[in-house]
Chains A and B, each alone.
Chain A
Amino acid sequence: MRRITRIATVGIASAALALSATACGDKSSDSGSSDSTEKSAAIAYDIGGRGDQSFNDAAYAGLEKAEKDLKIKGAEAEPTEGESEADKVQRLTELARKGNNPVIGVGFAYAPAIEKVAKKFPKTTFGLIDDNSKTGPNIANLVFNEEQGSYLAGVAAAKASKTGTVGFIGGVEVPLIKKFQAGFEQGVKDTNPNAKVLSTYLTQPPDFSGFAKPDLGKAAAKGQLSQGADVIYAAAGLAGSGAIEAAATEGKWAIGVDSDQYNQAGLSKYKDKILTSVTKDVSGAVYNLIKSVQDGKAQAGEVRYGLDANGVGLADSNPQYKSMAEVLAAVEKAKADIIAKKITVKTAP
């Protein structure tokens, strides 16, 4: 009897302690509120957080650059898997309350949350990447013409392919990645109407592991290679590195995405076979927004990054790519045509 009582008492006491912590308190989480004169900007990441070698890292690079050049303080917050809209609202509210300006939500998932929070903090500028549907006087919608960059990748792929079959690998089947697919397919077909494009998606939402698991990308790429593809374009975040590995191992071309993957340390083993990369200048967009706020001319409304402003584009770090005169010429011509609006690139396949 004694022993149970003792175990139980200790247990109950500790449980009560842990639980009572949730029950009391009357402040709200703005305790560290904006008394600081130091200027700061904040980023709320998309799923995956910092270290995804892709989208979130690009946003962080923009913040890092701003910290150095503009002498501001950067704050970051990461989401938890399976969180709800309420968590996003809470995260943005906390970042805004702490006096960060601008507060940038990385990814379209932040759209409904930013719409709610922006109304509560009219003096703070909110950046929303990849979404144009929720607007407001203090919301800057940073959007990209991914389909234009992908179109150029399609042109390059069609020109570089010997078999006439090229592959597209999308991470998760969401409208954003379909833009990449649409542009790529159109670019291939416009360049070589007889070419065949194999398109594969790794996962379906809400399973976002298609952006995170290189083994999925590798398996999909192997499948496409065995069907005769000799250029593979993977728009799949971290999973894309698996596709690059598979293509390079068989001596075929791979096309990277988001940042210039030829220069990425983790992929240096395969870089000779990374033909080019479709770049999406998220870091530049983040930096520009922070700078505009510091300069007192905060961006608002749609800020579009297309081929014309180098917001999207093709990287040319691979010397082999630079030596392909025919490919380069075709890409340059397509680029000029898109900027001159002679070619309109579709946003859905």
Chain B
Amino acid sequence: MEHVAQHSDPHYDQEASKLGMWLFIFTELLLFGGLFIVYAIYRFLNPEAFQMAGHELNLTIGAINTVILLVSSMTIAMSTSALQKKNKGLTVLLLEITVMLALIFLINKYFEWGVKFDHGIWPGSEHLLNDMGHGEVLFFGLYFVMTGLHALHIVIGMIIIIVALNKVQKGTVHADRPSLLENAGLYWHLVDLIWIFLFPLFYLIH
């Protein structure tokens, strides 16, 4: 039975892989959704403390990072169009730009967190526990957990994009088999989507 002549195409279903990705995205949305509900309740219970603590955050870095993520979302969306138009060079270039923008986002985040650490603010720090009220502790706890979890998603997103980029270069992802790139794009837009809500809730408290 070794040489049975049969035609075997690996099964490929673009709609199904998109559906699978969306189901995964739903779990991610509800994961962050849970954290947003925790945030909403604690802000409702400690409005003044959240306002005071919110002023500690750097609005400029937050705004710059928002624009960076929005641009990177556009470049990866464009790369799908470029792939469909069979423009491999442009697809690769746009994906490289996306990864670079993601890296810049993380570098900004590094400096932003670094300034907080210099001021003695991190989860469980002496300064936070001894000199600040209950509400501030909650605010900064949520700030570090939520932006940290988001940053972790940025790192994972970068890895997925780099894998997709390699496969585009190798030619295993192409106009007739674009699912990996499309799903990488969906994941990246999810990261953008979460930031769209993180930004006003943490940086725009006045």
Q: Indicate, yes or no, whether A interacts with B.
A: no
A residues lining the B interface (CB < 8 Å): none
